[in-house]
Structure 1
Amino acid sequence: MSEQTGRVDTADLWFDPLCPWAWLTSRWLLEVEKVRPIRTRFNVMSLSILNRDKEDIPQSYRDRLRSALGPVRVLTAAEQRFGNEVLGALYTAIGERYHVRDEPRELATVKAALAEVGLPEELIEFAGSDEYDEPLNRSHRAGMDLVGEEVGTPIISVDGTAFFGPVVTPAPKGEAAGRLWDGVLLVAGTDGFFELKRTRTRDPIFD
């Protein structure tokens, strides 16, 4: 175990900034970093790509997805031009606006996030460009290949174990975050384990 060896494990998280559940999972992972020997590495995926060929999704959700590709393209452009290390700060700036402040899910909001983290606001131009669609599709596929086609965002991979979720609200903090991490790794790392689920009874809580 990494706690015994002193090794710090990398927890890869695949996210789409549109998803409130992925946002909560990302905030939980950052809490886990404080109490367990892990570091989070952010990776983009796209709900637009995931659902583009599906016919059984509600029209209201399909309408939301039409504008969801642009922000993911901007994030991918930022990563390609400035390195993976910028994704965490940019995702945080976008997510705070989307989910905590409930600002409009529009490109002006993403542009403000770019300015906040010191990235060129001109990156917003890539929202309507396919220039970086190849690395976007590669990143998306890398996450999906770990867990199969029946899930979405968030996806986590650590030390050879990958899983969708956890879907949790509010995001646990402190040692509670660490205990959830321990439990998730235990069940996800069990050979032949596939699913543990119950009906959601509350909306996302952003505190």
Structure 2
Amino acid sequence: MWVDPACPWAWMTSRWVIEVQRVRDIDVRWHVMSLSVLNEGRDLPETYRRLMDDSWAAVRVLIAAQELHGPEVLRPLYDALGTRRHPGGRTDTAAIIRESLEESGLPASLAAYADSDELDVALRASHAEAIALVGDEVGTPVVAVNGTAFFGPVMTPAPTGEAAGRLWDGFVLITGVPGFYELKRTRTAHPIFS
């Protein structure tokens, strides 16, 4: 699963995947994807451009945590960042990062990577893995099963219990169909975090 902590839809999908782990035997590997990388050089509305500029910080800290402390730290750090940003409704990125590192038991010194491009090669490589699987006409989240990946699923609220498991079963089914590419409809609701 590839996520960017700035994306509320990736947050919703991640909550679903975590719920699926409770009801199905799945092994989830977490990866970093960056909407900031995806949108580089694109003409964006000013409000979204500001979000993309701000979004570099969290993905850089995530990739630094992974590179310096191993991939197992991604999920707890992503959970801490996302909980503050999405259900918490906060936008004070520096404080979110500082608090999330502390909650995750990671060194506060990782916060310095928020403003550093030192590990951008690793960030871009992780992002490129997702794009190689789905193409560049999508965003985050990207979920891959047995080598086949899709953008999404995008949902609200995230299903729980057996409903989460049934959606997973359907997702696995469509990933096994060669030539299946897309399901989509217009979103009529904002993310429901509770």
TM value normalised by structure 2: 0.97
**Of 111, 114, 119, the match for 1:127:** 114
How far is 1:189 from its partner? 2.2
- Report the AA paired with residue 92 of structure 1: D
In the alignment, which residue of structure 1 is the partner of 2:173?
A: 186
1: CA distance, partners of 2:22 / 2:105:
26
Q: Is the 8 A contact 1:161 1:185 kept in 2?
A: no
SS at match of 1:157: strand
SS at match of 1:101: coil
Q: RMSD of aligned C-alpha atoms?
A: 0.9
CA offsets 1:39-98 (integer angstroms, 9 cap, x no match): 21110011000001222x322111111111011000100001100000000000011100
2: CA distance, partners of 1:191 / 1:159:
12
Answering whether residue 113 of structure 2 is matched by residue 107 of structure 1, we say no
Q: Extract unaligned runs of 5+ from structure 2.
A: none
1: CA distance, partners of 2:180 / 2:105:
43
Answering whether residue 166 of structure 2 is matched by residue 203 of structure 1, we say no
CA offsets 1:105-156 (integer angstroms, 9 cap, x no match): 4111111110011101111001111111111111000111000010010001
Answering whether residue 21 of structure 2 is matched by residue 33 of structure 1, we say yes
- Report the AA paired with residue 76 of structure 2: A
Compare the two structures and name the one with the higher strand fraction.
Answer: 1
What is the number of equivalent residue pairs in this alignment?
194
In the alignment, which residue of structure 2 is the partner of 1:72?
A: 59
Answering whether residue 16 of structure 2 is matched by residue 14 of structure 1, we say no
Q: Which runs of 4+ in 1 moved over 4 A?
A: none
Distance 1:88 1:108, change over 3 A: same
Identity of aligned residues (%): 54
In the alignment, which residue of structure 1 is the partner of 2:75?
A: 88
Deviates more, 1:70-79 or 1:96-105: 96-105
Deviates more, 1:15-24 or 1:129-138: 129-138
In the alignment, which residue of structure 2 is the partner of 1:46?
A: 34
CA offsets 1:133-185 (integer angstroms, 9 cap, x no match): 11111100011100001001000112122111000000000100010011112
